[in-house]
Chain A
Amino acid sequence: MSNHLKDIILKIWRQNGPQDSGRFETYKVDEISDEASFLEMLDYLNEQLITDGKEAIVFDHDCREGICGTCSLMINGQAHGPERSTATCQLHMRKFSSGAEIVIEPWRAAAFPIIKDLMVDRSAFDRIIESGGFITSVTGGAPDANLIPIPKPVADSAMDSAACIGCGACVAACPNGAANLFTSAKIAHLNLLPQGQAERYKRAESMIEKMDEYFGSCTNHGECEAACPKEISIDVIALANADYRKAKLKNRKFISRI
């Protein structure tokens, strides 16, 4: 059942630090089981490099089950590689064949500066959440959980948006380096729910304006949706756009003078 792939050529971006200019380096993996995950293939390569006394390739990864959002990588020009709705950590070598040449690059965006090799800094996402991606609720003061019934379709669609893992593939895949899918997914998650209504418009306003400080603009290519490992739909972008417009209008009338 398990086959072995032979002679995989890897062109991997190496960059010593943020200031370094970086370059592609070519490596060869002589043989690897097709049961191996893509990251295990890189682990294996790193083992070889360490054995040869060379520095291991730096790349972000953690849970390896597609939920933590730590892994990244532009693989052959696609964020998270060639398998749809799959994060790099769940991509397996059986998607490739012997003799394949695989190009691996870090995600590139001004807001995602390269730390080293394939690892980038995605803190800009945290800044967006900090600006309004929450529902203010003081610990201990919450009413009974069943006090507000939430229609199942609403809960389901909030959940669809909340599934975002914050990996940054949307930004990486976007030809404009825009973060609208990430930002809008969080806006949609919280703005759809009854609990989120009190801060709905303030949230949309501050998150979108914070996003503007770091990222490009959405021109509706749809690449983000195609790259998203959680298949979050660009419908959420439309929702956030509408809420932002309403926020601008409503806020001036009622709450912006605070």
Chain B
Amino acid sequence: MPINYYIFLSLAVFCIGIIGVLTRRNSIIIFMCVELMLNAANLLLVAFSKMHHLVLGTNFPTLASEAQVFVFFIMVVAAAEVSVGLAIIVMLYRNTHSVDVNFLNRLKN
């Protein structure tokens, strides 16, 4: 597969995530769209690691493995982020009885 196909696939998933963040008002769905964007970036990183393994594998034998370890650390950070973010959403729901993000504009005052 040419690398272009993976670039355009990740781009499509990333832009769908952006459209979701901009158009939806349910905070949980906004959070899920952020996860979608993270996964698009992960997919592209893995595709690039396999591409450079063909080109640079003889000179830098651990380069592709390092790229995949990087993706692993992105997943680790995403898991920690989800736990804290969902706790914040639950606390918000407990205080306002709504998951609408527009309720948060009361933080202005």
A binds B: no
